[in-house]
Chain A
Amino acid sequence: MLYYKAWLETRTRFYTAVVVTIAVCAFFTLAHTWIENNWQRDLIEHPEYDNPAWFLRAMRDYPFYLYHFVYADFFQKIWVFLAVLLGVGGLTREAAHGTAGFTLSLPVSRSRLFATRALVAVGELFALAVIALIAIVLGSMVMHLPYPIYHGVTHLTILFAGGLVFLAASLCLTEFVEGENTPVVITLGGVGLLYFVMQPYVDGAPLDWFAVPFAVPKLMAGPADITGVGNVAWLAMFASLAAAGLLTAVGVVRTRRSDY
Protein backbone atom coordinates (compact mmCIF):
# COMPACT_ATOMS: atom_id res chain seq x y z
CA MET A 1 0.00 0.00 0.00
CA LEU A 2 2.92 2.31 0.50
CA TYR A 3 3.68 1.98 -3.19
CA TYR A 4 0.14 3.01 -3.90
CA LYS A 5 0.55 6.04 -1.67
CA ALA A 6 3.83 7.05 -3.33
CA TRP A 7 2.23 6.63 -6.74
CA LEU A 8 -0.79 8.75 -5.86
CA GLU A 9 1.50 11.33 -4.36
CA THR A 10 3.60 11.69 -7.51
CA ARG A 11 0.95 10.86 -10.07
CA THR A 12 0.24 14.40 -11.23
CA ARG A 13 3.92 15.21 -11.49
CA PHE A 14 4.49 12.05 -13.45
CA TYR A 15 1.74 12.76 -15.93
CA THR A 16 3.09 16.26 -16.43
CA ALA A 17 6.51 14.77 -17.02
CA VAL A 18 5.09 12.36 -19.58
CA VAL A 19 3.42 15.17 -21.48
CA VAL A 20 6.59 17.26 -21.44
CA THR A 21 8.70 14.34 -22.56
CA ILE A 22 6.45 13.43 -25.42
CA ALA A 23 6.13 17.05 -26.44
CA VAL A 24 9.85 17.68 -26.57
CA CYS A 25 10.74 14.43 -28.28
CA ALA A 26 7.91 14.78 -30.73
CA PHE A 27 8.91 18.30 -31.50
CA PHE A 28 12.48 17.51 -32.40
CA THR A 29 11.49 14.59 -34.54
CA LEU A 30 8.39 15.93 -36.22
CA ALA A 31 9.82 19.37 -36.71
CA HIS A 32 13.08 18.12 -38.12
CA THR A 33 12.22 18.84 -41.71
CA TRP A 34 10.97 22.27 -40.86
CA ILE A 35 14.13 23.05 -38.89
CA GLU A 36 16.23 21.63 -41.68
CA ASN A 37 14.54 23.90 -44.22
CA ASN A 38 15.09 26.96 -42.04
CA TRP A 39 18.74 26.13 -41.80
CA GLN A 40 19.07 25.64 -45.54
CA ARG A 41 17.48 28.99 -46.08
CA ASP A 42 19.78 30.63 -43.57
CA LEU A 43 22.83 29.17 -45.25
CA ILE A 44 21.80 30.70 -48.51
CA GLU A 45 20.32 33.97 -47.35
CA HIS A 46 22.66 34.72 -44.46
CA PRO A 47 26.18 33.70 -45.27
CA GLU A 48 27.40 36.01 -42.53
CA TYR A 49 25.94 33.77 -39.76
CA ASP A 50 28.35 31.75 -37.71
CA ASN A 51 28.20 28.07 -38.45
CA PRO A 52 29.58 26.03 -35.63
CA ALA A 53 30.95 22.59 -36.39
CA TRP A 54 27.99 20.73 -35.00
CA PHE A 55 25.60 22.68 -37.13
CA LEU A 56 26.87 21.52 -40.43
CA ARG A 57 27.02 17.97 -39.26
CA ALA A 58 23.52 18.07 -37.73
CA MET A 59 22.12 19.12 -41.03
CA ARG A 60 23.03 15.93 -42.76
CA ASP A 61 23.38 13.40 -39.93
CA TYR A 62 20.01 12.73 -38.29
CA PRO A 63 21.25 10.68 -35.33
CA PHE A 64 23.82 13.37 -34.65
CA TYR A 65 21.08 15.97 -34.82
CA LEU A 66 19.18 14.08 -32.18
CA TYR A 67 22.35 13.69 -30.19
CA HIS A 68 22.92 17.39 -30.13
CA PHE A 69 19.47 18.63 -29.39
CA VAL A 70 17.95 15.85 -27.36
CA TYR A 71 20.56 13.80 -25.58
CA ALA A 72 23.28 16.37 -25.09
CA ASP A 73 21.49 19.60 -24.64
CA PHE A 74 17.88 20.63 -24.56
CA PHE A 75 16.08 17.50 -23.53
CA GLN A 76 18.87 16.54 -21.15
CA LYS A 77 18.28 19.66 -19.10
CA ILE A 78 14.56 19.05 -19.06
CA TRP A 79 15.28 15.44 -18.16
CA VAL A 80 17.29 16.50 -15.14
CA PHE A 81 14.51 18.84 -14.05
CA LEU A 82 11.98 16.02 -14.31
CA ALA A 83 14.21 13.67 -12.34
CA VAL A 84 14.47 16.21 -9.54
CA LEU A 85 10.75 16.78 -9.61
CA LEU A 86 9.99 13.10 -9.18
CA GLY A 87 12.27 12.80 -6.17
CA VAL A 88 10.56 15.38 -4.01
CA GLY A 89 8.56 14.04 -1.10
CA GLY A 90 9.25 12.27 2.17
CA LEU A 91 8.63 12.87 5.83
CA THR A 92 10.15 16.31 6.15
CA ARG A 93 7.83 17.51 3.43
CA GLU A 94 4.93 15.73 5.09
CA ALA A 95 5.77 17.53 8.31
CA ALA A 96 5.24 20.83 6.53
CA HIS A 97 1.94 19.47 5.28
CA GLY A 98 0.81 18.28 8.70
CA THR A 99 0.52 14.60 7.78
CA ALA A 100 3.80 13.37 9.24
CA GLY A 101 2.06 12.40 12.46
CA PHE A 102 -0.32 10.12 10.60
CA THR A 103 2.38 8.50 8.49
CA LEU A 104 4.76 8.02 11.38
CA SER A 105 2.10 6.36 13.49
CA LEU A 106 1.75 3.64 10.87
CA PRO A 107 3.47 0.37 11.77
CA VAL A 108 6.20 0.68 9.16
CA SER A 109 9.88 1.41 9.44
CA ARG A 110 11.25 4.69 8.18
CA SER A 111 13.56 2.82 5.85
CA ARG A 112 10.57 1.21 4.23
CA LEU A 113 8.86 4.54 3.83
CA PHE A 114 11.92 5.94 2.10
CA ALA A 115 12.52 2.84 0.00
CA THR A 116 9.02 2.63 -1.43
CA ARG A 117 9.10 6.29 -2.30
CA ALA A 118 12.50 5.88 -3.98
CA LEU A 119 11.48 2.79 -5.93
CA VAL A 120 8.34 4.42 -7.27
CA ALA A 121 10.38 7.42 -8.37
CA VAL A 122 12.94 5.20 -10.10
CA GLY A 123 10.17 3.29 -11.80
CA GLU A 124 8.62 6.52 -13.02
CA LEU A 125 11.94 7.75 -14.34
CA PHE A 126 12.43 4.48 -16.16
CA ALA A 127 8.97 4.73 -17.65
CA LEU A 128 9.81 8.21 -18.87
CA ALA A 129 12.93 6.91 -20.56
CA VAL A 130 10.93 4.24 -22.35
CA ILE A 131 8.30 6.77 -23.36
CA ALA A 132 11.00 9.08 -24.70
CA LEU A 133 12.45 6.25 -26.75
CA ILE A 134 9.08 5.34 -28.17
CA ALA A 135 8.30 8.96 -28.96
CA ILE A 136 11.59 9.46 -30.77
CA VAL A 137 11.35 6.22 -32.71
CA LEU A 138 7.75 6.78 -33.69
CA GLY A 139 8.36 10.40 -34.53
CA SER A 140 11.26 9.43 -36.74
CA MET A 141 9.20 6.76 -38.47
CA VAL A 142 6.41 9.22 -39.15
CA MET A 143 8.91 11.59 -40.75
CA HIS A 144 10.55 8.78 -42.68
CA LEU A 145 13.85 9.52 -41.03
CA PRO A 146 15.90 6.39 -40.64
CA TYR A 147 16.93 5.97 -37.03
CA PRO A 148 18.86 3.04 -35.61
CA ILE A 149 17.15 1.92 -32.45
CA TYR A 150 20.37 0.99 -30.69
CA HIS A 151 21.33 4.66 -30.83
CA GLY A 152 18.24 5.67 -28.90
CA VAL A 153 18.46 2.79 -26.49
CA THR A 154 22.06 3.53 -25.64
CA HIS A 155 21.59 7.22 -25.18
CA LEU A 156 18.45 6.88 -23.13
CA THR A 157 20.09 4.27 -20.95
CA ILE A 158 22.86 6.74 -20.28
CA LEU A 159 20.34 9.48 -19.62
CA PHE A 160 18.45 7.23 -17.26
CA ALA A 161 21.63 6.39 -15.35
CA GLY A 162 22.59 10.04 -15.10
CA GLY A 163 19.07 10.98 -14.16
CA LEU A 164 19.31 8.58 -11.24
CA VAL A 165 22.01 10.74 -9.75
CA PHE A 166 19.81 13.80 -9.77
CA LEU A 167 16.84 11.79 -8.60
CA ALA A 168 18.88 10.53 -5.67
CA ALA A 169 20.02 14.05 -4.88
CA SER A 170 16.41 15.16 -4.81
CA LEU A 171 15.30 12.19 -2.69
CA CYS A 172 18.04 13.00 -0.25
CA LEU A 173 17.74 16.76 -0.10
CA THR A 174 14.01 16.78 0.55
CA GLU A 175 14.71 14.96 3.79
CA PHE A 176 16.93 17.79 4.96
CA VAL A 177 15.08 20.86 3.91
CA GLU A 178 11.81 21.84 5.45
CA GLY A 179 8.99 23.35 3.55
CA GLU A 180 6.96 22.45 0.55
CA ASN A 181 8.86 23.84 -2.40
CA THR A 182 12.19 24.83 -0.95
CA PRO A 183 13.87 21.49 -1.68
CA VAL A 184 12.87 21.72 -5.34
CA VAL A 185 14.18 25.25 -5.65
CA ILE A 186 17.45 24.41 -3.97
CA THR A 187 18.05 21.27 -6.00
CA LEU A 188 17.27 23.02 -9.22
CA GLY A 189 19.46 25.93 -8.23
CA GLY A 190 22.30 23.52 -7.61
CA VAL A 191 21.65 21.75 -10.88
CA GLY A 192 21.50 25.02 -12.77
CA LEU A 193 24.83 26.00 -11.34
CA LEU A 194 26.29 22.65 -12.29
CA TYR A 195 25.15 23.03 -15.87
CA PHE A 196 26.42 26.54 -16.07
CA VAL A 197 29.85 25.46 -14.96
CA MET A 198 29.86 22.39 -17.12
CA GLN A 199 28.60 23.96 -20.32
CA PRO A 200 32.00 24.64 -21.90
CA TYR A 201 33.03 21.04 -21.33
CA VAL A 202 29.88 19.72 -22.88
CA ASP A 203 30.52 21.84 -25.90
CA GLY A 204 33.77 20.08 -26.42
CA ALA A 205 36.42 21.52 -24.18
CA PRO A 206 38.60 18.84 -22.59
CA LEU A 207 37.89 18.07 -18.95
CA ASP A 208 39.99 19.77 -16.34
CA TRP A 209 40.90 17.60 -13.39
CA PHE A 210 38.69 19.40 -10.94
CA ALA A 211 35.63 19.11 -13.14
CA VAL A 212 35.70 15.34 -13.36
CA PRO A 213 33.44 14.51 -10.43
CA PHE A 214 30.87 16.97 -11.68
CA ALA A 215 30.95 15.81 -15.24
CA VAL A 216 27.58 14.17 -15.10
CA PRO A 217 26.09 16.35 -17.83
CA LYS A 218 28.86 15.46 -20.22
CA LEU A 219 28.47 11.90 -19.22
CA MET A 220 24.80 11.97 -19.89
CA ALA A 221 25.34 13.29 -23.33
CA GLY A 222 27.34 10.23 -24.08
CA PRO A 223 29.74 9.91 -26.97
CA ALA A 224 28.78 11.80 -30.09
CA ASP A 225 29.23 8.73 -32.21
CA ILE A 226 27.74 5.55 -31.07
CA THR A 227 28.45 2.69 -33.32
CA GLY A 228 27.43 -0.05 -30.96
CA VAL A 229 26.28 -0.63 -27.45
CA GLY A 230 29.77 -1.10 -26.09
CA ASN A 231 30.82 2.38 -26.96
CA VAL A 232 30.05 3.91 -23.58
CA ALA A 233 32.15 5.20 -20.69
CA TRP A 234 31.26 2.30 -18.41
CA LEU A 235 33.55 3.24 -15.60
CA ALA A 236 32.14 6.71 -15.38
CA MET A 237 28.64 5.30 -15.48
CA PHE A 238 29.25 3.01 -12.56
CA ALA A 239 30.79 5.89 -10.71
CA SER A 240 27.60 7.88 -11.24
CA LEU A 241 25.47 5.02 -10.02
CA ALA A 242 27.69 4.76 -6.98
CA ALA A 243 27.16 8.46 -6.36
CA ALA A 244 23.42 7.96 -6.64
CA GLY A 245 23.66 5.11 -4.18
CA LEU A 246 25.61 7.23 -1.76
CA LEU A 247 23.14 10.08 -1.90
CA THR A 248 20.30 7.65 -1.34
CA ALA A 249 22.06 6.17 1.66
CA VAL A 250 22.50 9.62 3.15
CA GLY A 251 18.79 10.23 2.68
CA VAL A 252 17.90 6.99 4.44
CA VAL A 253 20.16 7.70 7.37
CA ARG A 254 18.75 11.18 7.69
CA THR A 255 15.15 10.04 7.78
CA ARG A 256 15.91 7.28 10.25
CA ARG A 257 17.60 9.58 12.69
CA SER A 258 15.32 12.59 12.53
CA ASP A 259 12.91 13.68 15.19
CA TYR A 260 9.53 14.71 13.94
Chain B
Amino acid sequence: MEISSVKQAYAIETEALTKYYGDFEAVRGLSMRVPKGTITGFLGQNGAGKSSTIRMLLGMSRPTRGNGRVLDFDIADEKQSIEMRKRVAYVAEDKRLYDYMTVGQMIDFTKVFYPGWRTEIEQKLLDEFRLPLDRPTKKLSKGMRTQLALLLAFARGAELLVLDEPTEGLDPVMAEKLLELVVGAAADGATVFFSSHQISEVEQIADRILLIDRGQLVLDTTLESIATDFRRIRGVYDTAPKPATLALDGVQRVTVDGRTVSVIVTRNSISIAERMRAQSASAVEVLPMTLKEIVLESLRREGGSGTGEA
Protein backbone atom coordinates (compact mmCIF):
# COMPACT_ATOMS: atom_id res chain seq x y z
CA MET B 1 0.00 0.00 0.00
CA GLU B 2 1.19 3.45 -0.83
CA ILE B 3 1.03 4.98 2.66
CA SER B 4 2.78 2.19 4.52
CA SER B 5 5.59 1.99 2.02
CA VAL B 6 6.23 5.69 2.47
CA LYS B 7 6.13 5.26 6.21
CA GLN B 8 8.77 2.58 6.15
CA ALA B 9 11.02 4.59 3.86
CA TYR B 10 12.52 6.53 6.78
CA ALA B 11 15.01 5.17 9.25
CA ILE B 12 14.58 8.19 11.50
CA GLU B 13 11.65 10.60 11.62
CA THR B 14 11.08 13.34 14.15
CA GLU B 15 8.34 15.87 14.54
CA ALA B 16 8.86 19.03 16.57
CA LEU B 17 11.24 17.17 18.88
CA THR B 18 12.10 19.36 21.84
CA LYS B 19 14.31 18.92 24.90
CA TYR B 20 14.68 21.18 27.87
CA TYR B 21 17.40 20.75 30.45
CA GLY B 22 15.96 22.90 33.19
CA ASP B 23 15.44 26.24 31.50
CA PHE B 24 17.83 25.56 28.69
CA GLU B 25 16.24 24.50 25.41
CA ALA B 26 18.81 22.17 23.93
CA VAL B 27 16.68 20.95 21.06
CA ARG B 28 13.95 23.14 19.58
CA GLY B 29 11.17 21.72 17.54
CA LEU B 30 13.41 19.50 15.43
CA SER B 31 11.63 17.93 12.49
CA MET B 32 13.74 15.76 10.25
CA ARG B 33 13.56 12.62 8.15
CA VAL B 34 16.42 10.30 7.34
CA PRO B 35 15.64 7.97 4.44
CA LYS B 36 16.59 4.33 4.77
CA GLY B 37 19.70 3.15 3.03
CA THR B 38 21.39 6.53 3.09
CA ILE B 39 24.43 7.87 4.82
CA THR B 40 23.50 11.07 6.61
CA GLY B 41 25.93 13.47 8.17
CA PHE B 42 24.68 15.36 11.21
CA LEU B 43 26.64 18.58 11.50
CA GLY B 44 26.69 21.30 14.07
CA GLN B 45 28.86 23.10 16.55
CA ASN B 46 29.54 21.80 20.02
CA GLY B 47 26.51 22.30 22.17
CA ALA B 48 24.22 22.74 19.17
CA GLY B 49 22.11 19.78 20.24
CA LYS B 50 23.48 16.85 18.25
CA SER B 51 24.15 14.56 21.18
CA SER B 52 20.92 15.58 22.90
CA THR B 53 19.01 14.61 19.78
CA ILE B 54 20.77 11.29 19.47
CA ARG B 55 20.13 10.49 23.12
CA MET B 56 16.43 11.07 22.65
CA LEU B 57 16.31 8.92 19.55
CA LEU B 58 17.93 6.01 21.35
CA GLY B 59 15.80 6.18 24.46
CA MET B 60 18.51 7.45 26.76
CA SER B 61 16.60 10.62 27.57
CA ARG B 62 12.99 11.53 27.23
CA PRO B 63 11.79 14.28 24.87
CA THR B 64 10.11 17.21 26.57
CA ARG B 65 7.79 17.62 23.59
CA GLY B 66 7.32 16.24 20.15
CA ASN B 67 7.74 12.73 18.91
CA GLY B 68 10.04 10.57 16.90
CA ARG B 69 10.26 7.20 15.25
CA VAL B 70 13.35 5.14 14.61
CA LEU B 71 12.99 2.23 12.20
CA ASP B 72 9.26 2.78 12.64
CA PHE B 73 9.37 2.32 16.42
CA ASP B 74 8.13 5.04 18.71
CA ILE B 75 11.07 6.43 20.68
CA ALA B 76 8.94 7.38 23.67
CA ASP B 77 7.61 3.87 24.26
CA GLU B 78 10.04 1.72 26.21
CA LYS B 79 8.97 -1.61 24.74
CA GLN B 80 9.21 -0.30 21.19
CA SER B 81 12.49 1.37 21.96
CA ILE B 82 13.92 -1.94 23.13
CA GLU B 83 12.75 -3.67 19.93
CA MET B 84 14.36 -0.90 17.94
CA ARG B 85 17.66 -1.22 19.73
CA LYS B 86 18.00 -4.82 18.62
CA ARG B 87 18.47 -3.41 15.16
CA VAL B 88 20.59 -0.40 15.97
CA ALA B 89 24.30 -0.02 16.66
CA TYR B 90 25.39 3.04 18.60
CA VAL B 91 28.92 4.22 19.05
CA ALA B 92 29.22 7.01 21.58
CA GLU B 93 31.87 9.66 21.32
CA ASP B 94 33.56 8.20 24.36
CA LYS B 95 33.92 4.66 23.04
CA ARG B 96 34.63 3.46 26.57
CA LEU B 97 33.98 -0.13 27.49
CA TYR B 98 33.59 -2.10 30.71
CA ASP B 99 37.00 -2.07 32.30
CA TYR B 100 36.27 -5.24 34.26
CA MET B 101 35.92 -7.29 31.09
CA THR B 102 38.44 -8.62 28.64
CA VAL B 103 38.16 -8.21 24.90
CA GLY B 104 36.72 -11.69 24.54
CA GLN B 105 34.25 -11.14 27.35
CA MET B 106 33.00 -7.90 25.78
CA ILE B 107 32.37 -9.69 22.52
CA ASP B 108 30.66 -12.67 24.15
CA PHE B 109 28.58 -10.31 26.26
CA THR B 110 27.45 -8.08 23.40
CA LYS B 111 26.66 -10.70 20.78
CA VAL B 112 23.98 -12.30 22.94
CA PHE B 113 21.73 -9.26 22.61
CA TYR B 114 21.69 -9.06 18.85
CA PRO B 115 19.91 -11.71 16.86
CA GLY B 116 21.45 -10.33 13.69
CA TRP B 117 25.04 -10.68 14.90
CA ARG B 118 27.43 -11.30 12.01
CA THR B 119 30.13 -13.69 13.13
CA GLU B 120 32.00 -13.34 9.87
CA ILE B 121 32.40 -9.60 10.43
CA GLU B 122 33.43 -10.23 14.03
CA GLN B 123 36.08 -12.69 12.88
CA LYS B 124 37.29 -10.51 10.05
CA LEU B 125 37.76 -7.48 12.26
CA LEU B 126 39.34 -9.51 15.05
CA ASP B 127 41.94 -10.75 12.60
CA GLU B 128 42.42 -7.40 10.95
CA PHE B 129 42.79 -5.45 14.17
CA ARG B 130 44.67 -8.27 15.89
CA LEU B 131 42.83 -7.73 19.16
CA PRO B 132 44.04 -10.05 21.93
CA LEU B 133 41.00 -11.83 23.32
CA ASP B 134 42.17 -12.19 26.86
CA ARG B 135 43.46 -8.69 27.42
CA PRO B 136 41.39 -6.58 29.87
CA THR B 137 39.90 -3.58 28.14
CA LYS B 138 41.47 -1.21 30.61
CA LYS B 139 44.87 -2.33 29.39
CA LEU B 140 44.11 -1.55 25.77
CA SER B 141 45.61 1.46 24.06
CA LYS B 142 43.15 4.12 22.97
CA GLY B 143 43.44 3.00 19.37
CA MET B 144 42.68 -0.62 20.21
CA ARG B 145 39.76 0.39 22.38
CA THR B 146 38.32 2.22 19.44
CA GLN B 147 38.87 -0.79 17.25
CA LEU B 148 37.02 -2.98 19.73
CA ALA B 149 34.18 -0.47 19.93
CA LEU B 150 33.94 -0.51 16.15
CA LEU B 151 33.99 -4.28 16.04
CA LEU B 152 31.16 -4.44 18.56
CA ALA B 153 29.16 -1.99 16.48
CA PHE B 154 29.71 -3.29 12.98
CA ALA B 155 29.35 -6.97 13.83
CA ARG B 156 25.81 -6.39 15.08
CA GLY B 157 24.38 -6.56 11.59
CA ALA B 158 22.34 -3.52 12.47
CA GLU B 159 19.86 -1.84 10.16
CA LEU B 160 20.82 1.56 11.51
CA LEU B 161 24.19 2.78 12.68
CA VAL B 162 24.23 5.84 14.89
CA LEU B 163 27.73 7.20 15.34
CA ASP B 164 28.51 10.21 17.51
CA GLU B 165 31.76 11.83 16.38
CA PRO B 166 33.14 8.47 15.30
CA THR B 167 36.55 9.64 14.10
CA GLU B 168 37.19 11.89 17.07
CA GLY B 169 40.69 11.28 18.36
CA LEU B 170 41.52 8.77 15.65
CA ASP B 171 44.68 8.84 13.60
CA PRO B 172 44.13 9.29 9.85
CA VAL B 173 44.61 5.59 9.07
CA MET B 174 42.03 4.48 11.63
CA ALA B 175 39.69 7.25 10.56
CA GLU B 176 39.78 6.10 6.98
CA LYS B 177 39.27 2.51 8.14
CA LEU B 178 36.17 3.59 10.01
CA LEU B 179 34.81 5.32 6.93
CA GLU B 180 35.52 2.16 4.98
CA LEU B 181 33.50 0.14 7.51
CA VAL B 182 30.68 2.65 7.26
CA VAL B 183 30.64 2.38 3.51
CA GLY B 184 30.69 -1.42 3.72
CA ALA B 185 27.73 -1.40 6.10
CA ALA B 186 25.86 0.96 3.77
CA ALA B 187 26.55 -1.37 0.87
CA ASP B 188 24.91 -4.10 2.96
CA GLY B 189 21.80 -1.97 3.18
CA ALA B 190 22.27 -0.29 6.54
CA THR B 191 21.34 3.33 7.16
CA VAL B 192 24.09 5.37 8.70
CA PHE B 193 23.52 8.47 10.80
CA PHE B 194 26.70 10.05 12.02
CA SER B 195 27.53 13.34 13.63
CA SER B 196 30.86 14.84 12.82
CA HIS B 197 33.04 17.90 12.92
CA GLN B 198 35.06 16.64 10.00
CA ILE B 199 33.37 18.21 7.02
CA SER B 200 35.73 16.51 4.61
CA GLU B 201 34.60 13.09 5.81
CA VAL B 202 31.00 14.04 5.43
CA GLU B 203 31.66 15.24 1.91
CA GLN B 204 33.41 12.03 1.12
CA ILE B 205 30.75 9.53 2.06
CA ALA B 206 27.44 11.16 2.92
CA ASP B 207 24.34 11.22 0.77
CA ARG B 208 22.65 13.89 2.83
CA ILE B 209 23.45 16.36 5.53
CA LEU B 210 21.52 17.85 8.40
CA LEU B 211 22.91 20.98 10.01
CA ILE B 212 21.75 21.89 13.48
CA ASP B 213 22.41 25.20 15.17
CA ARG B 214 21.29 26.13 18.67
CA GLY B 215 18.83 23.29 18.75
CA GLN B 216 17.24 24.02 15.39
CA LEU B 217 17.60 22.51 11.97
CA VAL B 218 19.08 25.08 9.62
CA LEU B 219 19.97 22.94 6.65
CA ASP B 220 18.56 19.68 5.34
CA THR B 221 19.79 18.77 1.91
CA THR B 222 21.64 16.27 -0.22
CA LEU B 223 25.27 16.47 -1.23
CA GLU B 224 24.06 16.34 -4.80
CA SER B 225 21.97 19.50 -4.38
CA ILE B 226 24.97 21.19 -2.96
CA ALA B 227 27.04 20.24 -5.95
CA THR B 228 24.45 21.12 -8.57
CA ASP B 229 22.31 23.89 -7.05
CA PHE B 230 24.05 25.74 -4.26
CA ARG B 231 25.93 28.70 -5.68
CA ARG B 232 27.58 31.91 -4.72
CA ILE B 233 26.82 34.61 -7.24
CA ARG B 234 28.89 37.75 -7.27
CA GLY B 235 28.36 40.88 -9.20
CA VAL B 236 29.76 44.37 -9.25
CA TYR B 237 27.22 47.19 -9.11
CA ASP B 238 27.62 50.89 -9.71
CA THR B 239 24.89 51.57 -7.22
CA ALA B 240 23.95 48.97 -4.62
CA PRO B 241 20.56 47.37 -5.32
CA LYS B 242 17.85 47.33 -2.72
CA PRO B 243 17.90 43.93 -0.97
CA ALA B 244 14.20 43.50 -1.65
CA THR B 245 14.89 43.35 -5.37
CA LEU B 246 16.96 40.28 -4.82
CA ALA B 247 14.49 38.50 -2.55
CA LEU B 248 13.94 35.79 -5.11
CA ASP B 249 13.07 32.13 -4.71
CA GLY B 250 16.26 30.29 -3.76
CA VAL B 251 18.15 33.25 -2.34
CA GLN B 252 19.49 32.54 1.12
CA ARG B 253 21.55 35.59 1.88
CA VAL B 254 22.58 38.82 0.20
CA THR B 255 25.76 40.54 1.33
CA VAL B 256 26.86 43.95 0.17
CA ASP B 257 30.52 44.86 0.41
CA GLY B 258 31.27 48.17 -1.22
CA ARG B 259 30.25 47.70 -4.82
CA THR B 260 30.40 43.92 -4.75
CA VAL B 261 27.21 42.08 -4.00
CA SER B 262 27.38 38.42 -2.97
CA VAL B 263 24.29 36.29 -3.17
CA ILE B 264 24.14 32.81 -1.66
CA VAL B 265 21.52 30.70 -3.39
CA THR B 266 20.23 27.17 -2.88
CA ARG B 267 18.70 26.89 -6.34
CA ASN B 268 17.76 28.84 -9.46
CA SER B 269 21.23 30.26 -9.79
CA ILE B 270 20.82 30.83 -13.51
CA SER B 271 17.72 32.99 -13.27
CA ILE B 272 19.07 34.89 -10.30
CA ALA B 273 22.29 35.60 -12.17
CA GLU B 274 20.25 36.84 -15.09
CA ARG B 275 18.28 39.10 -12.81
CA MET B 276 21.50 40.58 -11.53
CA ARG B 277 22.74 41.15 -15.04
CA ALA B 278 19.40 42.75 -15.79
CA GLN B 279 20.10 45.08 -12.90
CA SER B 280 23.23 46.18 -14.75
CA ALA B 281 25.62 44.24 -12.53
CA SER B 282 28.87 43.59 -14.26
CA ALA B 283 31.32 40.69 -13.94
CA VAL B 284 28.57 38.42 -12.67
CA GLU B 285 30.15 35.11 -11.69
CA VAL B 286 28.40 31.98 -10.56
CA LEU B 287 30.66 29.96 -8.29
CA PRO B 288 30.18 26.55 -6.72
CA MET B 289 30.45 26.30 -2.95
CA THR B 290 32.17 23.66 -0.90
CA LEU B 291 30.27 22.01 1.93
CA LYS B 292 32.52 23.81 4.37
CA GLU B 293 31.63 27.20 2.91
CA ILE B 294 27.95 26.36 3.00
CA VAL B 295 28.11 25.23 6.60
CA LEU B 296 30.01 28.30 7.71
CA GLU B 297 27.64 30.50 5.73
CA SER B 298 24.60 28.85 7.32
CA LEU B 299 26.03 29.29 10.80
CA ARG B 300 26.80 32.98 10.41
CA ARG B 301 24.95 35.02 13.02
CA GLU B 302 25.85 38.57 12.08
CA GLY B 303 25.70 39.26 8.46
CA GLY B 304 24.59 41.49 5.75
CA SER B 305 21.06 42.07 4.73
CA GLY B 306 20.09 38.44 4.95
CA THR B 307 16.75 37.61 3.53
CA GLY B 308 16.58 34.69 5.94
CA GLU B 309 15.32 32.18 3.44
CA ALA B 310 16.79 28.74 3.88
B-binding residues in A (CB < 8 A): 1, 4-5, 8-9, 11-12, 97-102, 104-110, 259-260
Contacts and interface: CB of A to CB of B under 8 A. Distances in A.
B192 to A, nearest CB: 15
B113 A107 contact: yes
Contacts of A108: 82, 113
B85 A102 contact: no
Interface residues of B, number: 30
Given A98-B96, A101-B90, A259-B62, A109 B113 contact: no
A102 B101 contact: no
Given A101-B60, A105-B89, A107-B113, 11 more contacts: A5-B98, A8-B98, A99-B98, A101-B94, A102-B96, A102-B98, A105-B60, A105-B92, A107-B85, A259-B61, A260-B55
B251 to A, nearest CB: 40
Nearest to B90: A105
Contacts of A100: 60
A106 B85 contact: yes
A104 B101 contact: no
Nearest to B110: A106
A104 B92 CA distance: 11
B109 A4 contact: yes
B126 interface: no
B58 A9 contact: no
A107 B98 CA distance: 17
A102 B92 CA distance: 7
Contacts of B100: 8-9, 11-12
A1 B113 contact: yes
Closest 7 pairs (CB-CB, A-B): A101-B92, A259-B61, A98-B96, A105-B90, A107-B85, A98-B94, A107-B86
A109 B94 contact: no
Contacts of A1: 108-109, 112-113
Interface of B: 55, 58-62, 78, 82-86, 88-90, 92, 94, 96-101, 105, 108-110, 112-114
B42 to A, nearest CB: 16
A105 B109 contact: no
B169 to A, nearest CB: 13
B60 A259 contact: yes
B96 A104 contact: no
A102 B82 CA distance: 14
Contact of A8 (B60, B61, B105): B105
A101 to B, nearest CB: 3
B96 A97 contact: yes
Given A5-B109, A8-B105, A109-B82, A104 B98 contact: no
Contacts of B94: 98-99, 101
Contacts of B58: 104-105
A9 B83 CA distance: 26
Contacts of A5: 98, 101, 109
Contacts of B98: 5, 8-9, 99, 102
Nearest to B85: A107
Q: Which of A11, A99, A100, A109 has the most CB of B within 10 A?
A: A99
Contacts of A104: 58-60
A1 to B, nearest CB: 4
Nearest to B96: A98
A52 to B, nearest CB: 46
B51 to A, nearest CB: 9
Contacts of A8: 98, 100-101, 105
Contact of A107 (B55, B61, B83, B97): B83
Contact of B61 (A98, A106, A260): A260
Contacts of A259: 55, 60-62
Q: Which of B61, B92, B105 has the most CB of A within 10 A?
A: B92
Contacts of B59: 104
Q: Which of A4, A9, A109, A259 has the most CB of B within 10 A?
A: A259
Nearest to A1: B112
Contacts of A260: 55, 60-61
Nearest to A103: B98
A158 B2 CA distance: 66
A104 B62 CA distance: 13
Contacts of A97: 96, 99
A106 B112 CA distance: 10
B89 to A, nearest CB: 8
12 contacts: A5-B109, A8-B98, A11-B100, A98-B96, A100-B60, A101-B90, A102-B92, A102-B97, A104-B60, A105-B89, A105-B92, A260-B55
A180 to B, nearest CB: 12
Contacts of A102: 90, 92, 96-98
Contacts of B109: 1, 4-5
Contacts of A106: 85, 110, 113
A109 B83 contact: no
B82 A99 contact: no
